[in-house]
Structure formats: C-alpha cells, structure tokens
C-alpha cells in the first residue's frame, strides 16, 4: 500500500478569525501600520475566501499567495501599507487596477464610497466578482479590461491604486486622477519601487519613492508602450 501524506483538515471560521488577529498584530501593527480603519477592516476581511482552496492554509501568512494565471494576492503588509498611504476617509471614489482575487477590492469597499476595479484576466475578474457578491459589496463595480487605459468614462477618481508594475507611469491614469488626488503604484521591471503620486489642484504631479517591492508586471498595452 502506497503511503500518502495525510490531508490537512480545513480551518474553521473561528480559527481563521484568530489567524487574522495574529496577522494584524504581528505583520501590520508591529511594522508601523497605524491607520485604525485599515487595521479594523483587515481584522474582519476573510482573506482565505479570496485564494484557491488549495492555498487557504497560507492565506494569513506573511507572503504573497498564488491565485492562478501566474498572479498572486499581495503580502498583507504591502496591501495595508498601500491602503494607509492613500489616506482614505470613506468619501472617495477609487479606481483599482489589477483586482486579481478581489481581496484588496473588498477592503477598499469598506474604506471608501465607491470602487471601480479593472482586471485584465477574465477568469479572475469573474471569480472576484462572485466573491464580492457573496460578501455583499454593493459599492464595487468590476470589469475585465486593460488597466493601462484606466476607466475614463468614470473619471476623475479621488484615488488610484495599482497592483501590477508597469515600466513607466501610465499617463492615462494620471489624467484620470482628480486634483488633490493620490495614486500609488509599483514601478519598474526587475528593480521595482513603490511610488506615491500626489496631484495638486493645478494639476502638478509630485512623486515620492516609498519602498522596494516585487509585483507581477502590468500586461496588455503597458508591455507594448514599454
């Protein structure tokens, strides 16, 4: 008889909740995440429901988690850090580029007024939309499309968050950012930096490098323009 590793029993919702609390305490608070609204929603959001069942035991680990199609859901700290940098009060209209699993989209839905999310991979867009409907996020609209183009008919946006790395700042997205708005995105190829852009009321763009990161590359038109 061939020996096999015993299958790991799935965690209960109580166990997942305990994992979320540990995640927030050890991975976020200890590293300087202090926005109470961000901390609260990450204590509550069921991250495990946004990853494939095979990887659910990794859902609250301090690392990215594969979601298929060569994509990942970002490390919890990076998600929290990017959300904190956006300085969301709850009244903003936000554009998200690279919805992926829908996890960050769900967090945004609890932190702002309206979320428009673009995902270039059709199966991921469908999966994210199903998860968000299940969890009741009525202020989210997802579409499958090229995030490099943004969502011009819904612009301008108070905030833009990008979860895939282009080789340059997409001017389509800059144009769709409202005056006094903020945009955060990873930038670069092999060497990537997280970049925060602030747009003045006069339309001037101020840039600040935040940290070295590693994101999946932005595909679609971004690859041709690079």
Q: If DSSP states are collapsed to H, E and C, what string results for the chain?
A: CCCCCCCCCCCCHHHHHHHHHHHHHHHHHHHCCCCHHHHHHHHHCCHHHHCCHHHHHHCCCCCCEEEECCEEECCHHHHHHHHHHHCCCCCCEEEEECCCCCHHHHHHHCCCCEEEEEECCHHHHHHHHHHHHHCCCCCEEEEECCHHHCCHHHCCEEEEEECCECCCCCHHHHHCEEEEEEEEEEECCCCEEEEEEEECCCCCEEEEEEEEECCCECCCHHHHHC
Q: Which of 12, 70, 74, 89 is catalytic?
A: 74
Our answer to whether residue 74 is catalytic in this structure is yes
**Residues involved in catalysis:** 74
């Amino acid at each position: 008889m061939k020996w096999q590793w015993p299958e790991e029993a799935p965690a209960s919702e109580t166990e997942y909740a305990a994992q979320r609390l540990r995640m927030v305490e050890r991975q976020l608070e200890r590293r300087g995440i202090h926005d109470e609204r961000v901390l609260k929603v990450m204590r509550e959001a069921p991250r495990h429901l946004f990853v494939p069942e095979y990887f659910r035991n990794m859902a609250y680990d301090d690392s990215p988690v594969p979601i298929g199609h060569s994509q990942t859901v970002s490390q919890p700290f990076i998600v929290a850090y990017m959300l904190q940098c956006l300085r969301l009060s709850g009244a903003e209209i936000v554009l998200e580029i690279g919805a992926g699993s829908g996890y960050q989209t769900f967090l945004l839905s609890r932190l702002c007024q309206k979320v428009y999310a673009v995902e270039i991979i059709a199966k991921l867009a469908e999966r994210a939309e199903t998860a968000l409907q299940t969890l009741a996020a009525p202020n989210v609209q997802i579409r499958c499309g090229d995030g490099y183009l943004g969502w011009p008919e819904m612009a301008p946006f108070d905030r833009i968050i990008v979860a895939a790395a282009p080789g340059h700042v997409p001017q389509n997205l800059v144009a769709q950012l409202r005056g006094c708005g903020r945009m955060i995105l990873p930038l670069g190829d092999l060497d990537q930096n997280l970049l925060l852009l602030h747009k003045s009321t006069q339309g001037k763009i101020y840039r600040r490098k935040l940290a070295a990161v590693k994101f999946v590359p932005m595909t679609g038109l971004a690859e041709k323009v690079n």
